[in-house]
A = this chain, B = another copy of it.
Amino acid sequence: MSNLIISHAEVPLITTVEVMDENLRSMQIQIPAETQLALYLNGQKLVTLMTMGGHPEALAIGYLRNQRLIGSIGEIASVQVDWGRGVASVVTQSAVEDIEQRIENKIIATGCALGTMLGSGIDEIGEVIVPSNVLLEQLAIYRIVETVRAYPSMYKQARAMHACALFSLQGELIYFVEDISRHNAVDQIAGKMWLDGRSGESMVFYTTARLTSEMVLKGAQMGITFMISRSGITEMGFSIATQVGLTLIGRCKGRQFLIFSGKERIVFNAVA
């Protein structure tokens, strides 16, 4: 990591607009920014991400990681974000092989209507196996839910965004990120984990967003053992979790939750 050249670009994440309410009252409210960030890998444009703008370097790294275009943080020589041009440039130590072909396969296969990584991703989940010898206490789940509830999130001011967070098994907060796209938010976490050299094993990934196939697939690829969502789950998210052995918890609010898969890893020490 010590040789990685990386920018720390910042941009306003929230803006103020004037609106009128149902009683003809004018008022100023805050809304999230939405900015284009064009991602270049070794000078070649891959994609334009629509993002709120937080953690753009981690977003670029996490995107490349979760698309499996780059296999380890050590392959990256520099990450430079220039908000003036709306560009994130990632340069690798050595050339990325077959990049054109791999990008084309991925993007045509996945399209954009929902997923950022399905298609080839789905076929390769057989490679992923989540280790099973860690446990999560019910009380830690409640600590996580309470931490998210009390967190001074930008959502509380500006709405229209999703949060993803990483917690330890004891329920201690490690990262909390928000973006207008849940896809970006999970990629930001993936980028931060690589930058800090953190493995996903024995980690709890929390999201406000729904557990679709793509969210679960990304979590599995990041080596995450536990995924918790405030929202529900889709059939494909459910089946991927079962297949790779992730512990998946959804509809998690207050003291209620549902375990969709991997219940043998939950220690029920706060049963009502």
Contacts and interface: CB of A to CB of B under 8 A. Distances in A.
Contacts of A117: 112
Contacts of A187: 113
Tier of interface size on chain A: 35 or more
B118 A50 contact: yes
Interface string A183-208: 11001000000000000000000000
Nearest to A181: B114
A174 interface: no
B50 A113 contact: yes
A117 B115 CA distance: 14
Interface in A77-102: none
Given A107-B108, A259-B20, A237 B118 contact: no
A36 interface: yes
A47 to B, nearest CB: 3
Interface in A231-272: 231-238, 251, 255-260, 263, 268, 270-272
A211 B180 CA distance: 10
Chain copies in complex: 2
Contacts of A45: 108
A110 B29 CA distance: 29
A22 interface: yes
Given A160-B233, A210-B160, A111 B119 contact: no
8 pairs of A and B residues whose beta carbons are closest in the complex: A47-B111, A159-B232, A160-B232, A34-B236, A34-B234, A114-B181, A112-B116, A50-B114
23 contacts: A21-B256, A21-B259, A22-B138, A23-B272, A31-B232, A31-B234, A32-B235, A34-B212, A34-B235, A34-B236, A35-B236, A46-B108, A47-B112, A50-B214, A51-B114, A52-B234, A63-B113, A107-B107, A107-B112, A112-B117, A113-B181, A114-B181, A159-B251
